[in-house]
Amino acid sequence: MFEALPVGAMTCNLRTFTIDYANPCSVELLHSIRDELPIDPNDIVGTSIDIFHKAPMHQRALLSDAAQLPHKARIRFGREWLDLHIHPLPDSKGRVTRALLIWAVATAEVAKAEEEYRLQRMIDDMPVAVMTVDPGNFEITYLNEASKRTLNQIENLLPVNASDLLGRSIDIFHRNPAHQRALLADPRNLPHRAQIRLGPEVLDLQVSAVNGTDGAYIGPMLTWSVITKQVAAEARIHQLAHYDTLTGLANRSTFRDRLQDKLQVEDARLALLFIDLDGFKFVNDNYGHLVGDALLTSVAERLGRCCKAGDLIARLGGDEFAIVMPDAGEEEASELAARIVEAMRSPFDQSGGASLRIGGSIGIAVVPEHGADLHLIQARADMALYNAKDAGKNTFRLFTPELELRLNDRVRLESKLRHAVEQREGLFLYYQPILNTVTRQITCREALIRFHHPLRGWISPGEFIPVAEESGLIGELGAWVIEQACLDAASWTDGARVAVNVSARQLGNGTLQPTILAALLKSGLPPDRLEIEVTETALLENELDSLADLRQMRAMGVRIALDDFGTGFSSLAHLRAFPFDKIKIDGSFVRDATTRADCAAIVGLVAELGTRLGVTTVAEGVETQAHFDLVRAEGCTEVQGYFFGRPAPMESLATRSEELKTA
């Protein structure tokens, strides 16, 4: 029987503790672990039993005491594990003189048990909650420690304690148990991932299929975590990425994406409105960004009240807004634009009692009449907006093909002007005299730029100066005017001053003062022979920085004149803010002064104001003897106008200029 056993069988003499029998399976097993033996497995009979144990005396004591037998143990033998059963073998007189050892190599079994133990510990120690469910009755069969810890955080949302969940139905986690059961019962639905809500909490759930070694479906394993804070954070990130943080409106990126989506719809029909606030920069600069931000928020609220459900309102940046009206044409868009213009005119009451007034200019393009391409429809709405602002602001304009032609003309003009500035070709300075009303002597000459193109001829300053300002060429063009005017004035023998106009775009950016200094040094012209003329409108755009520039120039000895006085709404405030050397009364008052008593009164009041302030007053637009007699009688210090001379070039350029006039 021992010879045929599939396990090892050996007998040990308990007097000598030597092996006196080993069945064939023992020898075969010993060959499988021969690296751990000090002898050849074939020579095992007659060998001491001590070779199998690290503590031979303990082993001998165990074998000698029949009271401890039978005995079962798992012992370590080198790198191997052996399962050992020891039974007493009594002789014919009942004395136990031998022992029977039934044994087998258990290394693989031990390894498997250890692997299962490590896996169990690993799952228990995972930071992610893990549960298993019986697919037959849908009861929870296992929870790791992370599950228990996580469930304790939301225990008030469960009908039972986390420690009592084993054996409970998985239904307690789902609002729709039937759907959940159908999902878990069929491995074809797995793996599956979903976010489910448990009261105010959000759970991230992943379900995987657990299969046996034969591939059969054992059941689902659920890994999950509470991600309420992460979901809130993701929602916040999404909000920041797609919506304006100040107004809550869609931002530029979201606006473009949604407009593009609407344009992709077959037979798309919509209206696009671009809105630009008029006067917002003045509010921001003079009242501060907090007031400016509150104003933008109020604007967004008014836009929302003007629009209907389904309209997309976006803040593109700064004081620029946009609206997309689905299924709307020119008529509906014009009605909305009119409502918005009217809404923007109403005062904006701020905390602290301040009441602010601004306006809104709007450009409109409609699909498909004005195009269906994203970039094209935006460009045409922008053209219409530019036209609205050019028309005096606080109004709206629809796109027309003529606007595009005008824009193309402007682009071509910009190219020509850029070439002229870079190459110094076709640019001339003309000068108009300014005279003392008593002596009639020339005290100053105003420098006026002229531009001649070989094909278009003479181009009006009213046409090319705005292009220079909008394209950024005004800085370089203005620098050339200042330098050339200083060089020309340095050659005048009568010692007259030269007056140069500066644009709003040249003020407030810190570049004007070094430009003037360089021109004075190059020409050698004394600073007090240079007058810089600024308009009230120019000061309004960036008043604080512009006044800082003027103070720097005044400190150099350059004279500062306030041009077009009377046309701005804060004239007296500007006189208080800066000590101008000269006030130039706008020509519109002078030209009408001989026929309108109110205009004559304004001329007289400004002249008297100049006398009291010790400031030179210049009457512009003097075209007749009657004009001159009136402004002199009213007390104006100096005069300028066609009556005393039209703008003309320097003598050295006069011949060439006349040739160009007749070309």
Query: For residue 388, is pLDDT > 70?
Result: yes
pLDDT reported for residue 107: 65
Percent of the chain at pLDDT exceeding 70: 88
**Stretch among 195-204, 317-326, 581-590 having the lowest mean pLDDT:** 195-204
Per residue in 208-242, pLDDT (tens digit) is 888 877 888 888 888 777 776 776 666 666 666 77
- Between these two residues, 130 and 58, which has the higher pLDDT value? 130
pLDDT reported for residue 445: 94
**Stretch among 88-92, 157-161, 518-522, 534-538 having the lowest mean pLDDT:** 157-161
CATH topology of domain 425-660: TIM Barrel (3.20.20)
| Confidence (pTM) | 0.51
Helices 543-556 and 512-523 meet at what angle, rounded to 10?
Answer: 20
pLDDT reported for residue 656: 41
Domain 243-399 top-level CATH class: alpha beta
Domain boundaries of the chain, sorted by first residue: 8-111, 126-231, 243-399, 425-660
Residue position matching structure tokens 């069945």 = 23
Q: Does domain 126-231 have CATH number 3.30.450.20?
A: yes
Give CA–CA dist 28/645, Å, rounded: 129
Give CA–CA dist 59/49, Å, rounded: 9
Output the CA–CA distances (angstroms, integers) from residue 535 to 32, 181, 328, 539, 583, in the order listed: 106, 79, 43, 7, 10
Query: For residue 606, is pLDDT > 60?
Result: yes
Query: For residue 559, is pLDDT > 90?
Result: yes
Query: For residue 461, is pLDDT > 60?
Result: yes
- Between these two residues, 434 and 214, which has the higher pLDDT value? 434
Contact 231, 196 (CB under 8 A): no
pLDDT reported for residue 423: 86
Cβ neighbours of residue 66 under 8 Å, at least 6 residues apart?
88, 96
Contact 360, 344 (CB under 8 A): yes
- Between these two residues, 368 and 424, which has the higher pLDDT value? 368
Round the average pLDDT of the chain to a whole number and report it.
84
Cβ neighbours of residue 37 under 8 Å, at least 6 residues apart?
30, 51
pLDDT reported for residue 560: 93
- Between these two residues, 51 and 23, which has the higher pLDDT value? 23
Identical fold for domains 8-111 and 126-231, yes or no, is yes
Question: How does DSSP classify residue 243?
Answer: B
Mean pLDDT, to the nearest integer, of 492-511? Answer: 89
Per residue in 8-17, pLDDT (tens digit) is 888 888 888 8
- Between these two residues, 154 and 360, which has the higher pLDDT value? 360
Query: For residue 653, is pLDDT > 60?
Result: no
On the 0-12 / 13-18 / 19+ scale of CB atoms within 10 A, 464 is: buried
Residue position matching structure tokens 């021969």 = 34
What phi and psi, each to the nearest 5 degrees, are found at residue 523?
-90, -25
Query: For residue 660, is pLDDT > 50?
Result: no
CATH topology of domain 8-111: Beta-Lactamase (3.30.450)
Q: What share of the chain is helix, strand, coil (3-state, %, to 5)?
A: 45, 25, 25
Per residue in 89-130, pLDDT (tens digit) is 888 888 888 888 887 887 677 666 666 666 666 666 666 778
Per residue in 59-95, pLDDT (tens digit) is 777 777 777 788 888 777 767 778 888 888 888 888 8
- Between these two residues, 648 and 61, which has the higher pLDDT value? 648
Give CA–CA dist 458/436, Å, rounded: 31
pLDDT reported for residue 319: 92
| DSSP bridge partners of 196 | 203
Per residue in 527-548, pLDDT (tens digit) is 999 999 998 777 766 677 888 8
Mean pLDDT, to the nearest integer, of 492-504? Answer: 92
Highest mean pLDDT among 130-139, 399-408, 636-645: 636-645
What does 163-230 look like in DSSP terms, one character per residue? GG-TTSBGGGG-S-HHHHHHHHH-GGG-SEEEEEEETTEEEEEEEEEEE-TTS-EEEEEEEEEE-HHH
Query: For residue 569, is pLDDT > 60?
Result: no
On the 0-12 / 13-18 / 19+ scale of CB atoms within 10 A, 101 is: buried
- Per the omega criterion (within 30 degrees of 0), is the bond before 191 cis? yes
Query: For residue 515, is pLDDT > 90?
Result: yes
Per residue in 232-282, pLDDT (tens digit) is 666 666 666 778 888 989 998 889 999 999 999 988 999 999 999 998 888
